[in-house]
Amino acid sequence: MDCNGVITYCNPNHAKIFGYSPEEMVGRSMLDLIAHDADRERTRRLLAELVRDRPTPWTLETQNRTKDGRVIWLRIDWNYRLNESGEVVGFVSVLTDVTARKRAEAERQAIEAQIQQSQKLESLGVLAGGIAHDFNNLLMVVLGHAEMILTDHTLSEQVRGNLADIEKAAQRASELCRQLLAYSGRGRFVIKPVDLNALIQELGRLLEVSIGKNAQVEYRLAEQILPVLADATQLRQVVLNLLTNAAEAMPASDGRITVTTACRHVEEAELEGMVLGQALEAGTYISLEVADTGCGMDPDTVARMFDPFFTTKFTGRGLGLAAVMGIVRSHNGAIACRSRRGAGTTIEVLLPALTGPYSSLSDTGPLGVRTWHGQGLVLLADDDPQVRTVSRQMLEKLGLQVIAAADGVGAVELFRARSGEFACVLLDLMMPRLSVEEVLETIRQIAPAVPVVLMSGYSDEETARRFVGHNRLWFLQKPFKIKNISNIFREFMPEATSPNAAS
């Protein structure tokens, strides 16, 4: 080719790479065969530098377009053509088709990125779950003592107000822990058939309050029922978090949020491009899409938007979208985000569609049930002395007698000595010296029918996976209140008929 990149000769093999004959290649500019503007400009600058500076021979890899429109990768090795005076009069280039190598590299990089993302999610999930578990133990002490003090009817109104504020703050902290557990995939789940459209419609007023007045919401809900097998409470959190996040991205006024639901078939290729979608199979999915006309995000922000504690808001905690991802992951779903700075954001959540017979069920329990009171001896085992103290006080408030152990070995020794006297056993899920599994196995060998309640800062979903097949087993998630203990004990212990068993 000459100094401007116009081809003056092309051998048959090189012409074949592009799908042309050698005659068709002659007279074409090499620059015109390059597929992308950036590569074309880079090559133009290279030709000028070769003529001007005459550096060592140069190698370049570019994407080029063939006669039939395909894009291929070529490695181009350049060298000079000199005249008798030693002046550059053109170039000789050798082309090598490296498309297969480039595709293999892209696939390897994609796999490595997926592995890194998976490892990041796993490590952050373990960290978040561990923080939530330990923090729930601390909140157990705060909430428990606040509740016990509030049972004192001689307190002044000011003291009661102060304690109520402590209780509210601790409850908000507990909610943060639930979001951390949701991100880690260890959130509490009651799996039932849920109609996504009905759930969104039921939220109604709560959505309006969460969004505020700076945005209008348009609902484009599918006409048919959209059944998914999910935890209704967690699904509500997904909807609320997505809409709250969209509302916070709005300008002062005139913003619009569009909520769209659909049932659609999704191919593997689309799933592979979504967060959490790489392990899912093609099939029918329920789609929840929340689109806003807000400020949008740049690619760096989109890449980090689901990380816990990452936020672009001055008052944000960075847990809303992290919790969404944790919930979606636990429901075997996937998430996609499309966003551009100044052009708004669209987040789509896919959940596997439920097929076959189903019914939408409410997960709300009966209201106005009075606190249960009973009689009997209870074995309480927890390695945290403060949790032991407040738990003992709560159980005694319900009319029970309590013997406490600080670890698994102590619990087993106490149970062996007085197994016939215990009406129930409460075990912390994380105890030193002897694991809860070993303690539970020993108790079952001695007294197979005794009720056992497992306590943990993790969720009952996490516990259920560890104790599949065990009978007479209940779960109490920390931090708990007296009414939570009461509701569980009501299931397996008779209520006391003593006049002291006040409601």
Report the C-alpha gap between 171 and 194 in whole angstroms: 27
- Residue that terminates a domain, selected from 184, 209, 231: 184
Are 322 and 442 within one domain?
no
Q: Residue 128 carries which side chain, given as an amino acid letter?
A: A
Q: Do residues 340 and 420 both lie within one domain? A: no
**Residues 127 and 236 occupy one common structural domain:** no
Q: 215 and 137: one domain?
A: no
Which CATH number characterizes residue 385's domain?
A: 3.40.50.2300
In a domain, 501, yes or no: no
Burial class (CB in 10 A: 0-12, 13-18, 19+), 104: exposed
| Secondary element (H or E) of residue 97 | strand 88-97
CB 266 within 8 A of CB 259: no
pLDDT means per 10 residues, the chain with 503 residues, are 86 90 90 86 81 73 89 87 81 89 85 71 67 80 87 86 84 70 59 85 71 79 87 84 84 81 92 86 93 86 75 55 84 91 90 66 40 89 92 92 94 93 92 88 92 81 64 85 88 65 40
Euclidean distance between CA atoms 241 and 451, whole angstroms: 38
Q: Same domain for 120 and 49?
A: no
Does any domain span residue 496?
no
- Domain assignment present for residue 202? The answer is yes
**Does the pTM of the predicted model rise above 0.75?**
no
- What's the token pair of residue 441? 């196995």
216 with 142, same domain: the answer is: no
Sheet containing 334-339: order of strands: 215-220, 255-266, 283-292, 345-352, 334-339
Q: Is residue 462 part of a domain?
A: yes
Contact 403, 425 (CB under 8 A): no
**Same domain, yes or no, for 276 and 323?**
yes
Helix axis angle for 232-248 and 320-330, nearest 10°, is 150
Residues 6+ positions from 416 with CB-CB distance below 8 Å: 442, 446
Distance CA 400, CA 215 (A): 53
Residue range(s) defining the domain that contains residue 176: 110-184
Q: What is the full DSSP assignment across 414-473?
A: HHHHHGGGEEEEEEESS-SSS-HHHHHHHHHHH-TTS-EEEEESS-HHHHHHHSTT-SSE
The answer to whether 422 and 450 are in contact (CB under 8 A) is yes
| pLDDT on residue 290 | 92
Please give the pLDDT value at position 414: 95
Count of domains observed in the chain? 4
Is residue 253 within 8 Å of 274, Cβ to Cβ?
Answer: no
> What's the confidence (pLDDT) of residue 113?
73
**50 and 143 share one domain:** no
Look up tokens 């998630």; give the residue: 477
Question: Given this model, what pLDDT does residue 248 score?
Answer: 81
Last residue of a domain, one of 97, 124, 150: 97
Decide: residue 471, CB within 10 A, 0-12 exposed, 13-18 middle, 19+ buried.
Answer: exposed
Residue 460: predicted pLDDT: 56
212 and 343 co-located in one domain: yes
| Three-state DSSP class for residue 180 | helix
Cβ(46)–Cβ(78) under 8 Å?
A: yes
In a domain, 394, yes or no: yes
- CATH assignment at residue 198: 3.30.565.10
Q: Is residue 363 part of a domain?
A: no
Answer whether residue 419 is part of any domain: yes
Q: Give the rounded distance of the alpha carbon of 272 from its chain centre.
A: 17
CATH number for the domain that contains residue 28: 3.30.450.20
The rounded Cα 57 to chain-centroid distance in angstroms is: 51
What pLDDT is recorded for position 354? 84
CATH code for the domain in which residue 118 is found = 1.10.287
pLDDT in the model for residue 310: 63
Q: What is the pLDDT of residue 352?
A: 93
Residue that is last in its domain, among 184, 217, 243: 184
One domain, residues 419 and 462: yes
Same domain? 241 vs 302: yes
* Cα Rg, the chain, nearest whole Å: 33
Q: Are residues 228 and 347 in the same domain?
A: yes
Q: What was the pLDDT predicted at 186?
A: 57
| Structural domain includes residue 57 | yes
DSSP string for residues in 335-365? EEEEE-TTS-EEEEEEEEBP-SS--------
Cβ-contact 478, 137 below 8 angstroms = yes
Cis peptide before 451 (omega within 30 of 0): no
